Amino acid sequence: MTDFNDTKWLVKILRSGKPRDEILLKICQYLKTKIAHYDWVGFYIADPEKQVLTLGPYYGAPTEHVRIPFGQGICGRAAETLETILVQDVGSESNYLACSLDVESEIVIPVFKDGQFVAELDIDSHQNNSFSNQDRCFLEKIGREVAVLF
């Protein structure tokens, strides 16, 4: 289990000088490999003018959801409400976009730069009730830190 208070790894990745998408991919890889209940980790990039999210770097199984309109699914709802969305049982969601039949729970963290919505961090788990308040706080901190990349 990862120490949710230790973000030295994140600082190291952010200061690597690599292009944005390489940095985002490294963050996805780190989170998926270090935290057992994170089965798919990815970023969606926001286009507020077109009201659409476009799949960016991710680590996990391929997904057909490469463009998601604001308001559609859990990611689209987070884009619309501009709030973290945590769903412990995706089967209970009428607006859920299934990326995989294995997904049981999901958390989506909006990313803001200078007050503007720029991206989302999306994490799926193959277990019900996977995400705690500790996950939420940890991932929201990551969202605040990665904002410098946009």
Distances in Å between the Cα of 84 and the Cα atoms of 16, 17, 72, 132 are 28, 29, 15, 13
Which stretch of DSSP H or E encloses residue 112?
strand 105-113
Task: Give the predicted TM-score (pTM) of the model.
Answer: 0.92
Q: Which CATH class is domain 8-149?
A: alpha beta
Indicate the pLDDT class of residue 6, thresholds 50, 70 and 90.
confident
Mean pLDDT of all residues in 115-122 = 97
66-91 confidence digits (pLDDT tens) = 999 999 999 999 999 999 999 998 76
